[in-house]
Amino acid sequence: MDVRYMDLLPFAVAFGVTVLLILVLRPLAFRIGLVDEPGGRKDHAHDTPLVGGIALFCGFFFAVLLVDGALAPYKPLFAGGALLLIVGILDDFRELPAWIRFAAQIAAALMMTQWGGVVVEDLGFLLGRDELALGPWAVPFTVFGVVGVINAVNMCDGLDGLAGTLSLLALVFMALAAFAAGDGAHTSLLMILAAAVLGFLAFNYRIPGRRRALVFLGDAGSMFLGFCLAWFLVALTQDPNASIAPVTALWLVAIPLLDTVSLMLRRVMKGRSPFAPDREHFHHILLVAGYSVSRAVLMIAVLSTLLALFGLAGLWSSVDQWVMFYAFAGLFLLYFWGVRHAWRVMRVLPKPGGRQVAGAGQAHGALAQREVE
């Protein structure tokens, strides 16, 4: 059999299995009630099947089985992912108490650290010339970080195509970094997962002739994707021949992290629970300002790409890690200010088609009202 065909087979399987399962599971989801119903804070108007995560997990798993020796070191990844998938499916059927979801996320993170041995042992040279080792705090820090990334991906799953696109970009840029560092194993696994995500996005994007998503990730899919991103970010930064510096990881998933942390801080400043649901995410602000779902996703994707490229440029140009860290801290302050004063920022942003957005006055008024609340 042709070697090139064998090399491409896992990627084709990841994409193909994901697509096939979505086609099979979508009508079943309607019959058993595994759908996201419109209403409340939601932006869709039709019942939408929550089977994207199931298909994505299976596509990734069966594709990895085709890669010789690839599954053994990643059994904890799939075990933790399966746990999150099951809990997510149950949550998608009927909303579970938050503590059950957090318990599952912590359990998956512990599988990663205690079984998989994937732990953040050090944070690199964030404060200068000395490496910042975590010592006895390594496992607690890793668990905290994994749970944080899982929830960051989950919280950005608010527009058709957004969570999938941001995850896809992070996977591709991680694969690029791994490839540049000569890490073929991680490059292959990351691109296999990216192929599965592409299969899902084929049904999740709003495209000409189709004005709504056909399937959603659901909590099952967003938690699984977040867990995978956290696993590979830690693995790439902590391996003996690390592909990226710890600070680079921040830039590769900058938008989900910036949005989640800034939003939780704003909620606390208003005297609310940091986990209270609302419509004050960055993507919601873009919608209020008059951007369509597709344009909002495109804008956020472009911004995420630029930030990831900036992080990789700093890595490959050997910019001091502490410089990149303080640059990220400065970016966070700028982002935090920007979303708190969104109505001012929207005045200078380009409008769709170069025209003033219909209802822009009302949009700016709504954003200004949010600022003073």
Listing DSSP states for 138-172 in one string gives HHHHHHHHHHHHHHHHHHTTTSTTHHHHHHHHHHH
Q: Determine the structural domain holding residue 286 and report its residue range.
A: 3-372
Coil, strand, or helix at residue 358?
coil
Q: Tell me the mean pLDDT in the region 167-188.
A: 96
Q: From CA 215, how far away is CA 24, in angstroms rounded?
A: 12
Q: Tell me the mean pLDDT in the region 332-358.
A: 68
Coil, strand, or helix at residue 133?
strand
pLDDT at 363 over 50: no
Pairing mode, strands 35-36 and 48-49: antiparallel
Number of domains in the chain: 1
| Bind-site residues for Mg(2+) | 154, 219
Half-sphere exposure for 229 (CA within 13 Å, toward CB): 36
Q: Tell me the mean pLDDT in the region 163-184.
A: 96
- Least confident range from 73-77, 190-194, 236-240, 338-342: namely 338-342
Q: Over pLDDT 70: what percentage of the chain?
A: 86
pLDDT band at 337 (very low <50, low <70, confident <90, very high): confident
Radius of gyration for the alpha carbons in the chain, expressed in angstroms and rounded: 20
pLDDT for res 3: 41
Tens digits of residue pLDDT in 20-62: 999 999 999 999 999 988 755 555 557 899 999 999 999 999 9
**Higher local confidence (pLDDT), 13 or 271:** 13
Q: Tell me the mean pLDDT in the region 180-208.
A: 94
**Higher local confidence (pLDDT), 141 or 272:** 141
CB distance 56 to 196 below 8 Å: yes
pLDDT band at 274 (very low <50, low <70, confident <90, very high): confident
**Higher local confidence (pLDDT), 216 or 361:** 216
pLDDT for res 372: 41
Which residue's structure tokens are 């990841």?
A: 14
pLDDT at 370 over 80: no
**Higher local confidence (pLDDT), 240 or 260:** 260
pLDDT for res 289: 78
| Bind-site residues | 154, 219
Q: Over pLDDT 90: what percentage of the chain?
A: 63
Q: Tell me the mean pLDDT in the region 130-142.
A: 95
Q: Which residues contact 225 (CB under 8 A, 6 or more apart)?
A: 53, 56, 153, 163, 164, 167, 197, 217
pLDDT at 359 over 50: no
Q: Tell me the mean pLDDT in the region 229-249.
A: 94
pLDDT for res 310: 98
pLDDT for res 340: 79
Q: Tell me the mean pLDDT in the region 124-152.
A: 94
pLDDT band at 267 (very low <50, low <70, confident <90, very high): confident
Q: Tell me the mean pLDDT in the region 4-30.
A: 89
Q: From CA 345, how far away is CA 213, in angstroms rounded?
A: 29
Q: Tell me the mean pLDDT in the region 133-143.
A: 97
Mean pLDDT of the chain: 87
Beta strand ranges found along the chain (DSSP E): 35-36, 48-49
pLDDT at 356 over 60: no
Q: Tell me the mean pLDDT in the region 191-213.
A: 92
pLDDT at 250 over 70: yes
pLDDT band at 351 (very low <50, low <70, confident <90, very high): low
Q: Tell me the mean pLDDT in the region 268-272.
A: 80
